[in-house]
C-alpha cells in the first residue's frame, strides 16, 4: 500500500489542484466593462440592471427581479415585503449560513431553527410542520450546497397554515424543481452573488417574484422607499413604519451577471455530469456517501458537493477531520469541513437565546459533527481533478478504514 502524503509519501496530486480560478472571466465582458465605465452611467437601475433583473427572473420562471447589494439583505427585504416584523416567528433550517437567521433578527422577528433531512440535508418538512405556532409568519427553506428542499411538501404545509415562503437560493442558481425554477416555487426567492457563488459579481443579490405587490415592496425597501426610477417628483409614500434602506447594486455588477447568465445552463449541465461521475466513484468506497440531490430536481445546481464519511468504518482514533487533513496533504486542497456547526453555534452567531428558538437539530448536527466533507465549486468544473480526487479518497480511506 502506498504511504499517505501526510506520513511522508508521494502526493496523489503531484502539482496540486489545477484550475484557472474562480469565477470564470469572459473577454467580451471586459470590453463592455470599459465601455460602461466611460459611459458615466454606473447606477440607478440602468440598462444592464433592468435587463438582468428581467432575464434572471424569467430564467427561474418568475416575472420580476429586484437587484441588491448582497444575499443577506435580499432575505431581509423579502421577509419585510411579506409582512414579517416584531413578534413574528420565521422557521429556518438549523443547517445554513448565518444570514438566513440574522435576516429574521434584523426585522425584530424570531428565527425558529428546525432539523434537516438525512439524505438532502435540507429542511425536513415534518420538522417544519412540528415547529408551527400561531406566531409563525414565514418559512425560509434553503436549497443547501447541491440539493433542494422538498418544495412540494413545504408549499403544501405553508399554504395550509397561511405561512409565507421565502426560498433561500444562495446556493442554487439555475436549479429547477419539476422543471420550474428555484425561487419561484414560494412567494419570493432570494439569491446571493457573493464571490464564491455559482454566479457572482463579487457581491450582490436579487429577489425574484411573480407578485407585483411584493416586487414593489422589495424595491421600495432597497431604494430608500421610492417605488421607482427615475426619481419621481412626488413618489407615493411607503407604508408607515416600513423602514427602507439604500441596498442598491451597480451597473457593473449587473453587467458581469448578465454575461454569466448566458453560461448558466451549460455550466449547470457540466456540474451535473461531473457530479454524477464523482458520485458513482465515491459510492464504490466503503463508508463514503453523498448528499442526495433534490427529490424532484430536473436541473440540480451544485454550489459545493456534500460527501459523508461514516465514523463506524474509520479506525480507532480517526475522525472525518483526519480524513480531510490527509486529503489536503495529498494535494486535494479546498476539501473542507464547511461551517462546522449548526447556524446558532457558529462562531460568528453572537445573538442571545432570547432572540431565537431551536426546535430540532439532531439529524443535521450529527452529519455536521461526524460526517460531512465539502468539495469546493471549482472541482465540479473539471473532470481531470475529479479523477485525482477519487484516487486520493480511495488511498486515504484504504489506510484509515478498519
Ligand atoms: C445559504 C446562504 N444564504 C444567504 C447567504 C448570504 O449571502 P451574502 O453573502 O451575499 O450576503 C449565504 C452566503 O454565503 C448563504 O450561503
Nearest residue to 215 (alpha-carbon basis) of 257, 181, 243, 187: 187
Burial of 49 (0-12, 13-18, 19+ CB in 10 A): buried
Q: What is the per-residue pLDDT for 85?
A: 97
Q: Is the pLDDT of residue 230 over 70?
A: no
Cell digits for 7?
506520513
Query: At 30, which helix (H) or strand (E)?
Result: helix 27-39
The parent domain of residue 12 ranges over 5-23+264-400
My answer on whether 147 and 218 are in the same domain is yes
User: How far does the centroid of ligand 1 lie from the alpha carbon of residue 72, in Å?
Assistant: 6
Mutate to test the pocket of ligand 1, among 192, 201, 207, 301 (most ligand atoms within 8 A of CB): 192
- CA-nearest residue for atom 16, ligand 1, is 97
Q: What is the per-residue pLDDT for 372?
A: 98
My answer on whether 298 and 219 are in the same domain is no
Q: Is the pLDDT of residue 86 over 70?
A: yes
Q: How confident is the model at residue 231 (pLDDT cuts 50, 70, 90)?
A: low
Q: What is the per-residue pLDDT for 13?
A: 86
pLDDT in tens, 146-202: 999 999 999 999 999 999 999 999 999 999 999 999 999 999 999 999 999 999 999
My answer on whether 43 and 187 are in the same domain is yes
250 bridge partner residues: none
Mutate to test the pocket of ligand 1, among 68, 74, 79, 170 (most ligand atoms within 8 A of CB): 170
Read off the pLDDT of each residue in 237-253 and give the average, rounded to a whole number.
96
What residues have CB less than 8 Å from 159, skipping those under 6 apart? Answer: none
User: How far does the centroid of ligand 1 lie from the alpha carbon of residue 158, in Å?
Assistant: 23
**Domain's final residue, options 227, 242, 258:** 258
My answer on whether 203 and 55 are in the same domain is yes
Q: What is the pTM of this model?
A: 0.97
My answer on whether 243 and 135 are in the same domain is yes
Question: In angstroms, rounded to a whole number, what is the distance separating the alpha carbons of residues 1 and 368?
Answer: 31
- CA-nearest residue for atom 7, ligand 1, is 71
User: How far does the centroid of ligand 1 lie from the alpha carbon of residue 71, in Å?
Assistant: 5
Q: What is the per-residue pLDDT for 15?
A: 78
Span of 15-24, 166-175, 295-304, 371-380 with lowest mean pLDDT:
15-24
Q: Is the pLDDT of residue 379 over 90?
A: no
pLDDT in tens, 259-305: 999 999 999 999 999 999 999 999 999 999 999 999 999 999 999 99
User: How far does the centroid of ligand 1 lie from the alpha carbon of residue 331, in Å?
Assistant: 28
pLDDT in tens, 392-402: 999 999 999 99
pLDDT in tens, 90-146: 999 999 999 999 999 999 999 999 999 999 999 999 999 999 999 999 999 999 999
**Domain's final residue, options 258, 282, 313:** 258
Which CATH number belongs to the domain containing residue 108 in this structure? Answer: 3.40.640.10
Read off the pLDDT of each residue in 252-262 and give the average, rounded to a whole number.
98
Range 321-327, long-range pairs (CB < 8 A, 24+ positions): 322/400, 323/373, 323/396, 323/397, 323/400, 324/373, 325/6, 326/4, 326/5, 326/6, 326/396, 326/399, 326/400, 327/373, 327/389, 327/392, 327/393, 327/396
Question: In angstroms, rounded to a whole number, what is the distance separating the alpha carbons of residues 290 and 311?
Answer: 14
- What percent of the chain clears pLDDT 70, i.e. is strictly above it? 99
Span of 6-15, 79-88, 195-204, 358-367 with lowest mean pLDDT:
6-15
Q: Residue 200: CA atoms inside 13 Å, Cβ hemisphere, count?
A: 14
My answer on whether 272 and 250 are in the same domain is no
Give the SS3 label for residue 209: strand
Question: Average per-residue pLDDT in the chain?
Answer: 95
Query: At 369, which helix (H) or strand (E)?
Result: helix 362-370
User: How far does the centroid of ligand 1 lie from the alpha carbon of residue 243, in Å?
Assistant: 22
Q: Is the pLDDT of residue 1 over 70?
A: no
Question: In angstroms, rounded to a whole number, what is the distance separating the alpha carbons of residues 90 and 105?
Answer: 10
My answer on whether 95 and 10 are in the same domain is no
Which CATH number belongs to the domain containing residue 349 in this structure? Answer: 3.90.1150.10
Read off the pLDDT of each residue in 351-362 and give the average, rounded to a whole number.
98
Span of 61-65, 74-78, 211-215, 383-387 with lowest mean pLDDT:
383-387
Burial of 332 (0-12, 13-18, 19+ CB in 10 A): buried
Cell digits for 15?
502539482
Read off the pLDDT of each residue in 240-251 and give the average, rounded to a whole number.
96
110 bridge partner residues: 89
**Domain's final residue, options 229, 258, 287:** 258
Bond prior to 230 in cis (omega within 30° of 0): yes
User: How far does the centroid of ligand 1 lie from the alpha carbon of residue 130, in Å?
Assistant: 26
Read off the pLDDT of each residue in 41-61 and give the average, rounded to a whole number.
97
My answer on whether 212 and 192 are in the same domain is yes
My answer on whether 223 and 84 are in the same domain is yes
Question: In angstroms, rounded to a whole number, what is the distance separating the alpha carbons of residues 144 and 27?
Answer: 31
My answer on whether 97 and 57 are in the same domain is yes
How many domains, the chain? 2
The Cα angle at residue 272 between residues 270 and 275, in degrees rounded to 5 = 105
My answer on whether 82 and 10 are in the same domain is no
My answer on whether 225 and 373 are in the same domain is no
Q: What is the per-residue pLDDT for 389?
A: 93
Q: What is the per-residue pLDDT for 233?
A: 65
State which ligand 1 atom lies nearest to the alpha carbon of 205. 10
Cell digits for 242?
416600513
Pocket-forming residues, ligand 1, beta carbon under 6 Å = 70-72, 96-97, 99-100, 142, 168, 170-171, 192, 194, 205
Amino acid at each position: 500500500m502506498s504511504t499517505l502524503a501526510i506520513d511522508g509519501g508521494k502526493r496523489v496530486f503531484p502539482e496540486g489542484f489545477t484550475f484557472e480560478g474562480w469565477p470564470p472571466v469572459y473577454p467580451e465582458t471586459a470590453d463592455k466593462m470599459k465601455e460602461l465605465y466611460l459611459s458615466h452611467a454606473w447606477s440607478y437601475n440602468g440598462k444592464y440592471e433592468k435587463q438582468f433583473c428581467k432575464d434572471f427572473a424569467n430564467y427561474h420562471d418568475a416575472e420580476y427581479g429586484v437587484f441588491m447589494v448582497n444575499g443577506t439583505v435580499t432575505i431581509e427585504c423579502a421577509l419585510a415585503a411579506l409582512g414579517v416584523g416584531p413578534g413574528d416567528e420565521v422557521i429556518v433550517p438549523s443547517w445554513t449560513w448565518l444570514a438566513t437567521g440574522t435576516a429574521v433578527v434584523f426585522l425584530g422577528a424570531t428565527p425558529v431553527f428546525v432539523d434537516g433531512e438525512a439524505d438532502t440535508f435540507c429542511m425536513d418538512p415534518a420538522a417544519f410542520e412540528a415547529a408551527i405556532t400561531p406566531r409563525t409568519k414565514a418559512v425560509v427553506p434553503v436549497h443547501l450546497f447541491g440539493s433542494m428542499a422538498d418544495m412540494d411538501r413545504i408549499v403544501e404545509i405553508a399554504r395550509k397554515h397561511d405561512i409565507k415562503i421565502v426560498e433561500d437560493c444562495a446556493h442554487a442558481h439555475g436549479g429547477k424543481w419539476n422543471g420550474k425554477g428555484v425561487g419561484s416555487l414560494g412567494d419570493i426567492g432570494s439569491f446571493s452573488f457573493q464571490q464564491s457563488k455559482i454566479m457572482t459579481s463579487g457581491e450582490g443579490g436579487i429577489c425574484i417574484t411573480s407578485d407585483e405587490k411584493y416586487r414593489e415592496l422589495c424595491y421600495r425597501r432597497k431604494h430608500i422607499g421610492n417605488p421607482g426610477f427615475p426619481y419621481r417628483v412626488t413618489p407615493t409614500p411607503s407604508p408607515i413604519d416600513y423602514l427602507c434602506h439604500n441596498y442598491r447594486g451597480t451597473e457593473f455588477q449587473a453587467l458581469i451577471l448578465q454575461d454569466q447568465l448566458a453560461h448558466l445552463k451549460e455550466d449547470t449541465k457540466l456540474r451535473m455530469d461531473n457530479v454524477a461521475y464523482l458520485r458513482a466513484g465515491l459510492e464504490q468506497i466503503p463508508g463514503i456517501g453523498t448528499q442526495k440531490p433534490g427529490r424532484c430536481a430536473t436541473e440540480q445546481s451544485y454550489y459545493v458537493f456534500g460527501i459523508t464519511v461514516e465514523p463506524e468504518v474509520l479506525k480507532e482514533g480517526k475522525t472525518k477531520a483526519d480524513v480531510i487533513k490527509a486529503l489536503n496533504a495529498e494535494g486535494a486542497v479546498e476539501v473542507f469541513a464547511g461551517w462546522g456547526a449548526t447556524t446558532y453555534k457558529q462562531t460568528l452567531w453572537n445573538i442571545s437565546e432570547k432572540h431565537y428558538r431551536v426546535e430540532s437539530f439532531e439529524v443535521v448536527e450529527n452529519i455536521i459533527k461526524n460526517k460531512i466533507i465539502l468539495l469546493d465549486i471549482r472541482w465540479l468544473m473539471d473532470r481531470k481533478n475529479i479523477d485525482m480526487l477519487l484516487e486520493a479518497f480511495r488511498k486515504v480511506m484504504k489506510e484509515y478504514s478498519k
